[in-house]
Amino acid sequence: MTPETSAATEAPAAGFDVKTLSGSFGAEVRGLDLSNLDKDRFEQAYQLMVEHKVVVFRDQHFDLDSYEAFAGRWGRIHKHPFMRGMDSHPGILEIVKTETDRRAFGNAWHSDQMFNPKPAKFTMLYAREVPDRGGDTMFANMSAAYESLSDGMKTMLETLRGWNVGSREKLRAASTVPSNSRPPAGMQEEIPPEEQQTEASHPLVRTHQDSGDKTLYFGGHTMHIDGMTPTESAPILRYLQSVVTRPEFQCRVEWEVDSLTMWDNRCVQHYAIDDYAGQRRRMHRITIAGDEIPV
């Protein structure tokens, strides 16, 4: 990070305002027009992401073309293997919950596309319609959770890998919870049953490519620990999940129309709160493909 960018992340320098969302992580930025970032400003925005892991940029004005163009600056736009993008803009997924829809997409703790050998780097959601109240998104800081563990636990985890699975049926079959309930966690809504091929092993502790920090790395797609049965893995994964989702390691984004929230899937889990029955919520989502195999 250059001295200039580090100064700019301390509000209210450099013409835009940064407010932290919790003691642990997350930031809200006002006064930065993402559609019009020169090279230095883009670098500052990237450093905001590395520093805060989740950033909600308020009052953004994109059309579909300029939104895709902005996203392309962060890396390759991920084409979801299972979900259809918009007809005119296949890189943009429209995430809609209508007044009559019963279930909300992403309503469980997860990190996006962990079942991919090179899992998603960033996801951005751009709010087009939001409920009068409710429909917030929660985030959990897996790096802070890792840091809080004992040296003994850290050492044990060092050698372990998670087996991550896209298939809802496989996750359910491996689950130790009753078959009529949902999988313990996961973005199962994202994956239609007919499209369930993708599986990948990733270290349970990975080193973040940009910050160099170690972070836990698992989520709702983690079916078991490599070399262990799901039954043997479940208590360990459940314990780690209880650490990750401690209130101390969470932050919460309250949406406004025209807010764009980005999060770093490499070190953050997220959860869409389904508390707005009878109301509409519509988001435009773009995911930035990962460019590394986690190590």
294 interacts with Mn ion by CB under 5 A: no
Instruction: Tell me which of 68, 112, 264, 274 binds ligand OGA, using CB under 6 A.
Output: 112
Residue number closest to ligand OGA, CB atom: 106
Instruction: Tell me which of 26, 91, 106, 294 binds ligand OGA, using CB under 6 A.
Output: 106
Give the number of residues in contact with ligand OGA, rule: CB under 6 A: 12
68 interacts with Mn ion by CB under 5 A: no
Instruction: Tell me which of 174, 272, 286, 288 binds ligand OGA, using CB under 6 A.
Output: 272
Q: Cα–Cα distance between 223 and 114 in angstroms, integer? A: 11
Q: Cα–Cα distance between 102 and 135 in angstroms, integer? A: 14
Instruction: Tell me which of 28, 68, 112, 264 binds Mn ion, using CB under 5 A.
Output: 112
Cβ atoms of residues 49 and 23 within 8 Å:
no
Applying CB under 6 A, which part among 16-24, 25-33, 62-70, 104-112 lies near ligand OGA?
104-112
At residue 231, φ and ψ (nearest 5 deg) are: -65, -40
- How is residue 218 written in tokens? 């698992």
Beta strands in the chain (DSSP E): 17-20, 27-30, 54-57, 93-97, 122-129, 137-141, 161-165, 199-203, 205-207, 214-216, 222-225, 250-253, 260-264, 268-272, 281-288
Nearest approach, Cβ of residue 131 and ligand OGA (Å): 11
- The DSSP string of 203-267 is ESEEE-TTT--EEE---TTEEEETTS-HHHHHHHHHHHHHHHTSGGGEEEEPP-TT-EEEEETTT
Strands 17-20 and 27-30: antiparallel
95 interacts with ligand OGA by CB under 6 A: yes
Nearest approach, Cβ of residue 254 and ligand OGA (Å): 11
Spatial CA neighbour of 115 closest among 182, 49, 174, 187: 187
106 interacts with Mn ion by CB under 5 A: yes
265 interacts with ligand OGA by CB under 6 A: no
200 interacts with ligand OGA by CB under 6 A: no
Spatial CA neighbour of 130 closest among 284, 285, 287, 283: 283
145 interacts with ligand OGA by CB under 6 A: no
Give the number of residues in contact with Mn ion, rule: CB under 5 A: 3
> By C-beta, is 95 or 244 nearer to ligand OGA?
95
274 interacts with Mn ion by CB under 5 A: no
202 interacts with ligand OGA by CB under 6 A: no
Beta-bridge partner residues of 93: 285
Residue 285 interacting partner from Mn ion, ligand OGA, none (CB closer than 5 to 8 Å by kind): ligand OGA
Instruction: Tell me which of 285, 288, 290, 294 binds ligand OGA, using CB under 6 A.
Output: 285
Binding residues for ligand OGA (CB under 6 A): 95, 105-106, 112, 123, 125, 137, 187, 270, 272, 283, 285
